[in-house]
Structure 1
Amino acid sequence: MNDLSESESRKLLRRLQDTLATPTKGQERLDRITHLIADSMRSQVCSIYLFRDAETLELCATEGLNPEAVHKTRLRLGEGLVGRVARTARPVNTGNAPSVKGFRYMPETGEEIYSSFLGVPIQRVGEKLGVLVVQSKEAREFSEDEVYGLEVVAMVLAEMTELGAFLGEGEALTRAHHTYPVMIRGASGQEGAAKGRVWLHEPRVVITNPVGEDPERELERLHEAMSALRESVDRMLAEVVVGDGDHLQVLETYKMFAHSRGWLRRMEEDIARGLSAEAAVEKEQSSARARLEQVPDPYLRDRLHDLDDLSHRLLRLLTGQGRDTGAEMPEDPVLVARNIGPAELLEYGRQLKGVVLEEGSVGSHAAIVARALAIPLVIHAERVTTEALNGDPILVDGDQGIVHLRPDDSVATAFGEKIAMQAEAQSRYASLRDLPAQARCGTRIKLTMNAGLMADLPSLASSGAEGVGLFRTELQFLVRSHVPRRAELAAIYKRVMDAAEGRRVVFRTLDIGSDKVLPYMKPQDEPNPAMGWRAIRLGLDRPGVLKMQMQALVRAAQGRPLALMFPFIATAGEFDRAREMFDKVIAREQALGHPAPSGIEVGAMLETPSLAFAPLSFFRAADFISIGGNDLKQFFFAADRENERVRRRYDTLDGSFLRLIRQIVERCDEAGTPLSYCGEDAGRPLEALTFAALGVRALSMRPASIGPVKHLLRRVHLGDLSDEIQAAMDRGVENLRPVVLGCLSHD
């Protein structure tokens, strides 16, 4: 038997620890390790492959194969059995390696005489570092005990690789992790560019003692930490208030995992093999991460994320390394996290230069807050929390959805020039702040800003906005763990109106559902939530919160003018029901002694194509219409804006979409109803100019976009541009972008 028993495993780990503690160079240390492992497992071959880059593995040390192949043999990720282990993060165990599909023969290694093959991943919490391989001439599969023992050894190698135990001179070995430049291509969550230093929302736990000297003491430490973990989860469960259904469900899952005998048993077995308590927790966490990548079911992925979070909590209990590590936040922090809630992001506030998330979506709570704070956001930045360390230089390109970690000089210089050009442009736009957005033909366009936080309101004066065209009221609901009280909302809305100093503020009633699920609201299991039970549909079906919000707005106005807008109206009947509800609220508030607003405007957000074809009576009944461009565009093109494959596929300046906009303009003109356009495209100068040429006379955007849009509007003659666009549409031109650009070049 070649089984690596528990006692032999501990002996091997101690010998490895002694070798790692010996002051030798990285290559010599690796060579000794392969010899030790081959000897302990009584196999003829032991090899260590480490990643040269994200896609390439290199043979860095071997006992038994041709030593001349070291640093010459390389494999792509997924290539051969070694590449398969690296790609899947799962062991490959076979008694006849050449017969296995995908086997790649590498003649320079001399491995053709070895039939048996066992390869296990060297990984650390989802970070793939390499592959550990043993081979023998005897045609047999390695036992479960040997596979398990080799995984324990690979865990120690992963920790030592992370700590830089195998660094070589020059190009002899793989470079130190977290020292070389990395570019991560994600997706844009909020436009803008930022240069700063990494601030990790959850700093990495550093394990300096992967090998346990005293298994009994390590078991005792694990059990103590598990007891503390269970107590903390039980306390959190006890503090959940009635109605916190979703939060309660998450904590119940936490409790299930915290009390899982299987999870604890596997960690106890790891300790028996010779790992420290910390290394045992991380080994099981790495295994969970590897399983996570293979699971297609999003619900199961979320449950594995819960186990991942619990592992972090347990590691912090064992190491004493909390979130507060004593490190000082840099002056120009860029927040890096796997994901983050809106309340936590708001706590950081405007001190952040940018945000980079591994997860998230363009409509997530974090994205909503990032837009409100006007800070660049990149989402879907895979492995960024693994690659980044606190204090690392980082460049965030929110326009392209790209992150540069530890950029080299050429990238940093080019990016610095981009930021400088943007800053110079903003300074030019500042000179336009007090000038009207008036085209050369005399047509004046009203430019307003989008907001959702009190922190946004200082931008009202500095940006040159004429008012708030959209105040997102859902943010006050998203950042709380319970439904806000009416008095709380009234106080918030009053401060908003006070800060506006008489400028018009359009309050959009609660737009929740879809991707904006409240922490205390049970999520609806809908196959297509963006087209599901959300916004006004939810408000009309469950009118309690909507009525309370209406009451708070009336009380906040204190007799001043009030403008509110209903989101996601699909039919005239929905608008009529919502307005009737508001009329009743005003009557009741007056009966209670609260003054009615001196002027009342009730509008609708046109986000569904159906509303563009509503009866003319609807357009006359509405005091104003605001085109919700983000949703209207995704429904018009049937292109989910949460889906990276299609959300940029269709151009806003497509002729068919612009015909719809023109039709809405004509309906509003006929009814005498003011029309505005609100959304990301309203803040893009070329798109804004086109909407204005089609007859839209008000645009609402993020504050930083007002200057660029105003600058372009003041350069053009809208009448001439309108004629060019109309002629091109009559000719059936599919995309109007070249036409608009051509008109600008003539000016």
Structure 2
Amino acid sequence: MSETFQTDSRQMLGRLRAVLAEDAGGQTRLDQITRLIAEEMRTEVCSIYLFRDEDTLELCATEGLNPDAVHKTRMKLGEGLVGRVARTGRALNTDNAPATRGFRYMAETGEEAYSSFMGVPVQRLGEKLGVLVVQSREARHFSEEEVYAVEVVAMVLAEMAELGAFVGEGAAMSARHQQSVLIRGATAQEGAARGHVWLHEPRVVVTNLIAEDPDQEIARLNAAVEELRVGVDRMLSFARSGDKEQLEVLEAYRMFANSKGWMRRMEEDIQLGLSAEAAVEKEQSTARARMSQVSDAYLRHRLDDLDDLSNRLLRILTGQGNEAGVDMPTDPILIARNIGPAELLDYGRRLRGIVLEEGAVGSHATIVARALAIPLVIHARRITTEALNGDPILVDGDQGVVHLRPGDTIAAAFRDKMAMQAKAQERYASIRDKPAKTLCGRTISLTMNAGLMADLPSLEGSGAEGVGLFRTELQFLIRSHMPKRAELSELYARVMDAAGGRRVVFRTLDIGSDKVLAYMKPTDEPNPAMGWRAVRVGLDKPGVMRMQLQALIRGAAGRPLSVMFPFVAQRAEYDAARAEMDKALARERILGHPLPETLELGAMLETPSLAFAPDSFYENVDFLSIGGNDLKQFFFAADRENERVRRRYDTLNVSFLTFLRSIVARCEASGTPLGFCGEDAGRPVEAACLAAIGLRNLSMRPASIGPVKSILRRTDLRELNRIIEEATARGDQSVRGAVMEYLRGKF
């Protein structure tokens, strides 16, 4: 990179800083910037296009094009060369714009006279803000150094937009982090919460973007990088006794921290006139942009490593984002791109709600959030870039909607909704100790799902009759190493102690698919939900299954024990798992440990194949529990992690209810106890229909027991079954409409 070019670039950034320092409105600043860049780049045209919404770009300032087109010319993402730059997030440089693929002529701008075109994205940490364009009459192909210089300016523009430099007269941009924002995501845990934002990874705001002394900034950068490297080496020294995979991750981390290419690029940015912080963030934005283009999981993880290192380096340089001296609000709503189960458990029940930019319906964090009964919204796009610590926020987990910095009208409506929910909870508390006895005299057993000791106090408060599903995998997921048998047996004993004699059904380790242990080598499977998971892993790794079964026997300490095996697809798998229990019992007997007073061994019916197992299976299994979440996704061939299809298929679909009836009939014929556990068991309308077709045990999250019990106590299951049968006979696709009409008439 030539010294002349570096000098010119610093001169342009110096002039840009002077413009930004003036006391002027947003539109005036943008107009001055386009004029400045056109002069410095020796082009006739410079234009700035900014996003008005996620899909629309607007010409907000120009030097050289028709000024009447400002705030009038708009284009969709991907439309024209400008839209192409915005969509791809990459620079476009051509000396013949009309002949370039994607060119769109906009007559109102008067740009037909200009042949050359160079556009670069204005983006910050992966968030697309707009496009910066220069054009000239001559057929000019801009040099790599010139493209690089404009990219540096675009980065400064993105940072200044973040700081609100273009707000004011002319309304070039709305004030960021001040206006109300509605973000639509997806429901992962129902419930409503009101509070203030607590960022899991606090944002670092760079205020000094342009520096006059490159040598001083490079010295600051080198000192910060050295501190970063020392920190990474310290992490490695602590992890030396850890597992191989953890060491490999940290070694990759150290490799990036010592990357000469990374340092060289940041030093080049500084030589052009950026501060050390701005140089780090420019390279971080580039890495984030690459992430959106990379499909290979390994490469994405490596880019994630670089992104995380950049955040650490920015915190060292700015002193921002350190938790010391920053108090969590009394009503925190946690905001994060993603979060692991152990980190979420560290926060515990202090959280009012959780909003994740990524996340998944069946992720570890979702499982923990459900266990803690904390409303959770996932797939909330842009939440980490929109939210600031302390912002007021409303989380509607029922609708999968987030209101950030809500207006008075929305806040009042939300308060009313929460007040109504509180009144409903009072009503549910009044029937807590009463049975779920229907108007026709049927009593439905309502039990709760659990996975943590923190769940067990809900047994008393919710009115649950026991634990219909205790997820044992959470104790494996929140650790960085395999738990010991003694640790597990102690936990299982405490669970049974807390249950106070109520039945607890322990599900053996259900890992695989979306639940991958940090210390277990991941398997590359094209469809993990239908791959090596749950009982399949247990039977292929009998040592782990045997250890867990022994821990369960020891935890029971002579008390009744109920165990069920997950994801059984055929009788042979259940028989093999039962044989492992027999071996564990024989070993415990030899060791002189007390055996369970009674032992029930069941299976989760989550695959359609098990519904058609031989009669002998139904006669031999001690009990069955329908795993509604998995069974529904396999029945409809609709991945429950896929938002496009998972809501397309209704639990009250006639085909699915008919299928469930056939399972009920087989269990009644063989005398096999049958239950249903999953999200649908905790939805009052669905729960009533499940009871109407013959299911007598429903297991759900503790907060759902009150609403489900309330509707069951006011329902005649015989009448409801008749409504379902009539809708089926009519050929309705779903019975929901008929059922809702019937219930509205009753309540």
Q: In 1, Cα distance between the equivalents of 2:328 and 2:649?
A: 41
Q: In 2, Cα distance between the equivalents of 1:422 and 1:79?
A: 47
- The 8 Å contact of residues 3 and 145 in structure 1, kept in 2 or not, is answered as no
Please list every run of 5 or more consecutive structure 1 residues that lacks an aligned counterpart in the other structure. none
Match of 1:569, SS state, is coil
> What CA RMSD, in Å, does the superposition of the two structures yield over aligned residues?
2.1
Match of 1:225, SS state, is helix
Counterpart residue number, 1:674: 673
Deviations 1:230-249 (A, max 9, x none): 33333333433667344334
Match of 2:409, SS state, is helix
- The 8 Å contact of residues 246 and 523 in structure 1, kept in 2 or not, is answered as no
TM (normalized to structure 2)? 0.96
Match of 2:179, SS state, is coil
Q: In 2, Cα distance between the equivalents of 1:502 and 1:245?
A: 42
Deviations 1:27-65 (A, max 9, x none): 333333223222222222222233333333333333333
Q: In 1, Cα distance between the equivalents of 2:265 and 2:46?
A: 26
Counterpart residue number, 1:566: 565
User: Which amino acid in 2 is paired with 1:488?
Assistant: E
User: Which amino acid in 2 is paired with 1:394?
Assistant: I
Q: In 1, Cα distance between the equivalents of 2:663 and 2:556?
A: 31
Indicate yes or no: 2:227 matched with 1:228. Answer: yes
Match of 2:292, SS state, is helix
Counterpart residue number, 1:627: 626
Q: Bigger shift: 342-351 or 713-722?
A: 713-722
Q: In 2, Cα distance between the equivalents of 1:27 and 1:609?
A: 62
Q: In 1, Cα distance between the equivalents of 2:410 and 2:115?
A: 48
Counterpart residue number, 2:13: 13
Match of 1:450, SS state, is strand
- The 8 Å contact of residues 630 and 680 in structure 1, kept in 2 or not, is answered as yes
Give, in angstroms, the shift of residue 199 of structure 1.
0.9
Match of 2:427, SS state, is helix
Counterpart residue number, 2:28: 28
Q: In 1, Cα distance between the equivalents of 2:602 and 2:242?
A: 32
CA 1:21–1:79: 2 relative to 1, 3 Å: same
- The 8 Å contact of residues 243 and 520 in structure 1, kept in 2 or not, is answered as no
Q: In 2, Cα distance between the equivalents of 1:739 and 1:29?
A: 61
CA 1:727–1:110: 2 relative to 1, 3 Å: closer
User: Which amino acid in 2 is paired with 1:10?
Assistant: R
Q: In 2, Cα distance between the equivalents of 1:733 and 1:20?
A: 65
Give, in angstroms, the shift of residue 5 of structure 1.
0.8
Give, in angstroms, the shift of residue 183 of structure 1.
1.9
User: Which amino acid in 1 is paired with 2:239?
Assistant: V
Q: In 2, Cα distance between the equivalents of 1:68 and 1:746?
A: 61
Counterpart residue number, 1:197: 196
Counterpart residue number, 2:386: 387
Deviations 1:528-562 (A, max 9, x none): 11111111111111112222211222222222211
Q: In 2, Cα distance between the equivalents of 1:282 and 1:648?
A: 39
Deviations 1:453-489 (A, max 9, x none): 1111111111111111001011111111111111211
- The 8 Å contact of residues 51 and 174 in structure 1, kept in 2 or not, is answered as no
Match of 1:5, SS state, is helix
Give, in angstroms, the shift of residue 437 of structure 1.
0.2
Match of 1:513, SS state, is coil
User: Which amino acid in 2 is paired with 1:604?
Assistant: A
Counterpart residue number, 1:92: 92
User: Which amino acid in 2 is paired with 1:9?
Assistant: S
Residues 398-437 of structure 1 mapped to structure 2, 5 A cutoff:
398-437=397-436
Please list every run of 5 or more consecutive structure 2 residues that lacks an aligned counterpart in the other structure. none
Q: In 2, Cα distance between the equivalents of 1:98 and 1:108?
A: 16
- The 8 Å contact of residues 457 and 500 in structure 1, kept in 2 or not, is answered as yes
Deviations 1:485-541 (A, max 9, x none): 112112211221111111111111110111100111111101111111111111111
Q: In 2, Cα distance between the equivalents of 1:552 and 1:303?
A: 38
CA 1:577–1:145: 2 relative to 1, 3 Å: same
Q: In 2, Cα distance between the equivalents of 1:316 and 1:333?
A: 22
Indicate yes or no: 2:275 matched with 1:276. Answer: yes
- The 8 Å contact of residues 198 and 388 in structure 1, kept in 2 or not, is answered as yes
Give, in angstroms, the shift of residue 439 of structure 1.
0.5
Counterpart residue number, 1:254: 253
Q: In 2, Cα distance between the equivalents of 1:386 and 1:294?
A: 20
User: Which amino acid in 2 is paired with 1:366?
Assistant: A
CA 1:727–1:62: 2 relative to 1, 3 Å: closer
Q: Bigger shift: 428-437 or 95-104?
A: 95-104
Give, in angstroms, the shift of residue 429 of structure 1.
1.3
Match of 2:120, SS state, is strand
Q: Bigger shift: 513-522 or 209-218?
A: 209-218
Q: In 1, Cα distance between the equivalents of 2:628 and 2:52?
A: 46
- The 8 Å contact of residues 4 and 40 in structure 1, kept in 2 or not, is answered as no
Counterpart residue number, 2:594: 595
- The 8 Å contact of residues 559 and 597 in structure 1, kept in 2 or not, is answered as yes
Give, in angstroms, the shift of residue 280 of structure 1.
0.9
Q: In 1, Cα distance between the equivalents of 2:78 and 2:412?
A: 36
Counterpart residue number, 2:313: 314
Match of 1:229, SS state, is helix
Q: In 2, Cα distance between the equivalents of 1:299 and 1:374?
A: 34
User: Which amino acid in 1 is paired with 2:19?
Assistant: T
Counterpart residue number, 1:217: 216
Counterpart residue number, 2:296: 297
Counterpart residue number, 2:440: 441
Give, in angstroms, the shift of residue 331 of structure 1.
1.9
Counterpart residue number, 2:547: 548
Deviations 1:146-187 (A, max 9, x none): 000111111122212211222213x53211111122222222
Give, in angstroms, the shift of residue 732 of structure 1.
4.6
Give, in angstroms, the shift of residue 746 of structure 1.
4.9
Match of 2:443, SS state, is coil
Counterpart residue number, 1:342: 341
Counterpart residue number, 2:167: 167
Counterpart residue number, 1:517: 516
Q: In 2, Cα distance between the equivalents of 1:729 and 1:460?
A: 37
Q: In 2, Cα distance between the equivalents of 1:468 and 1:643?
A: 29
Identity %: 70
Give, in angstroms, the shift of residue 344 of structure 1.
0.3
Match of 2:566, SS state, is strand
- The 8 Å contact of residues 232 and 250 in structure 2, kept in 1 or not, is answered as yes
Indicate yes or no: 2:130 matched with 1:130. Answer: yes
Counterpart residue number, 2:177: 178
How many residues are matched? Answer: 745
Counterpart residue number, 2:111: 111
Give, in angstroms, the shift of residue 79 of structure 1.
3.0
Q: In 2, Cα distance between the equivalents of 1:514 and 1:246?
A: 19
Q: In 2, Cα distance between the equivalents of 1:283 and 1:39?
A: 24
Match of 1:460, SS state, is helix
Give, in angstroms, the shift of residue 416 of structure 1.
2.7
Counterpart residue number, 1:637: 636
Residues 33-72 of structure 1 mapped to structure 2, 5 A cutoff:
33-72=33-72
Match of 1:677, SS state, is strand
Q: In 2, Cα distance between the equivalents of 1:337 and 1:683?
A: 27
Q: In 2, Cα distance between the equivalents of 1:571 and 1:238?
A: 47
- The 8 Å contact of residues 71 and 172 in structure 1, kept in 2 or not, is answered as no
- The 8 Å contact of residues 26 and 171 in structure 2, kept in 1 or not, is answered as no
Q: Bigger shift: 505-514 or 217-226?
A: 217-226
Match of 2:567, SS state, is strand
Counterpart residue number, 2:186: 187
- The 8 Å contact of residues 26 and 173 in structure 2, kept in 1 or not, is answered as no
Q: In 1, Cα distance between the equivalents of 2:460 and 2:716?
A: 27
